[in-house]
Amino acid sequence: MLGSWGTHVLNGAVQTLPYNVTADFEPIVLVGTQPLLIVARPSMPASDLPALIGWLKSNPDKATAATAGSGSVSHIAGALFQRDSGTRLAFVPYRGAAPAMQDLMSGQVDMMLDQAVNSWPLVRDGRLKGYAVTARSRMALAPNLPTVDEAGLPGFHVSQWNAIFSPKGTPDAVVARLNAAVVETFDDPAVRRRMIDHGQELFPRDQLTPAALAAFHKSEIEKWWPIIKAVAVKTP
């Protein structure tokens, strides 16, 4: 299966599942990661991230942040942004990112943290204001957009990653064959370019092993479960 931050981290923190997100899967390989963009309505007066945070602080509980739904990546990221920036946001849940973006572009809500594949084209075309990418390095897709560390909110790193898993007990030889096939595919320049065009950042070659995915998955659970549970995020 193609798992993600949502299926293999978030779900285990907010739902009672009939399976264990770590013990019941065999890690195959990390596929890609997609950091979020901090974006705002086009009429937002703030010109950079510190100014945006200042504006939000001057409008506590009135400033609105759109989310793709309760418990979505944009909701969790928004809760973490609120904590780290010292702001107080009124979250507005939508049934998906598309209607949220529509209201953001029209100025019905103030800001959002959303996946780059959705929001970057709108920032590029001037239909949204973009402030930073939630990663340690700039995105190949948007090289002119600063990172949160550069923009004034150091350490605010959030990404929606994907990885391939198989059922627990999959023979080692099968795991190795699947892993090798994916790694070989990533060596194709056309595949890499296609992924970058869709907002995906590729992991370094030395992280494309089953052991690396297992370690990464464990670290993501250790990082995010306390945060998710602290903000009492619930999903339907």
The pLDDT tens digits of the residues spanning 19-49 come to 999 999 999 999 999 999 999 999 999 999 9
Please check whether residue 236 lies inside any domain of the structure. no
Please check whether residue 10 lies inside any domain of the structure. yes
8 Å CB contact between 205 and 183: yes
Integer-rounded Cα radius of gyration of the chain: 18
What domain range is 88 assigned to?
36-151
Domain shared by 137 and 71, yes or no: yes
Domain shared by 146 and 176, yes or no: no
Domain shared by 101 and 170, yes or no: no
Domain shared by 54 and 117, yes or no: yes
Asked if pLDDT for residue 230 goes beyond 90, the answer is: no
Residue 160's DSSP bridge partners are 34
Query: Domain ends where: 102, 121, 151?
Result: 151
Tokens of 228: 């998710």
Domain shared by 113 and 174, yes or no: no
Domain shared by 119 and 191, yes or no: no
8 Å CB contact between 196 and 116: no
From CA 23, how far away is CA 141, in angstroms rounded? Answer: 35
Please check whether residue 234 lies inside any domain of the structure. no
Residue 224: CA atoms inside 13 Å, Cβ hemisphere, count?
26
Please check whether residue 179 lies inside any domain of the structure. yes
| pLDDT for res 235 | 47
Please check whether residue 110 lies inside any domain of the structure. yes
| pLDDT for res 233 | 54
Query: Domain ends where: 132, 151, 170?
Result: 151
Beta strands in 14-80 (DSSP E): 25-40, 64-67
Domain shared by 131 and 142, yes or no: yes
For 107-143, letters b (16+ CB in 10 Å) and e give eebbbbbbbbbbbbebbeeebbbbbbbbbeebbebbe
Tokens of 6: 């949502």
Please check whether residue 235 lies inside any domain of the structure. no
For residue 60, the SS3 value is coil
Residue 93's DSSP bridge partners are 67
Pairing mode of beta strands 64-67, 111-115: parallel
| Tally of residues, the chain | 236
Domain shared by 194 and 218, yes or no: yes
Per-residue DSSP letter, 44? -
Mean pLDDT over all residues of the chain?
93
pTM: 0.87
Task: Collect all residues with Cβ–Cβ distance below 8 Å to 193 and sequence separation of at least 6.
Answer: none
Asked if pLDDT for residue 198 goes beyond 90, the answer is: no
Please check whether residue 194 lies inside any domain of the structure. yes
Per-residue DSSP letter, 147? B
From CA 132, how far away is CA 44, in angstroms rounded? Answer: 15
Domain shared by 96 and 167, yes or no: no
| pLDDT for res 141 | 83
Pairing mode of beta strands 129-133, 25-40: antiparallel
| pLDDT for res 40 | 98
For residue 16, the SS3 value is coil
Domain shared by 117 and 210, yes or no: no
Residue 29's DSSP bridge partners are 164
Domain shared by 168 and 67, yes or no: no
Q: What is the tally of structural domains in the chain?
A: 2
Residue 197 backbone dihedrals phi, psi, to 5 degrees: -65, -25
Asked if pLDDT for residue 231 goes beyond 80, the answer is: no
Please check whether residue 96 lies inside any domain of the structure. yes
Domain shared by 69 and 137, yes or no: yes
> What pLDDT digit, counting tens, does each position of 48-65 carry?
999 999 999 999 999 999
* CATH number of the structural domain spanning residue 96: 3.40.190.10
Query: Domain ends where: 151, 181, 209?
Result: 151
| pLDDT for res 232 | 57
* CATH number of the structural domain spanning residue 24: 3.40.190.150
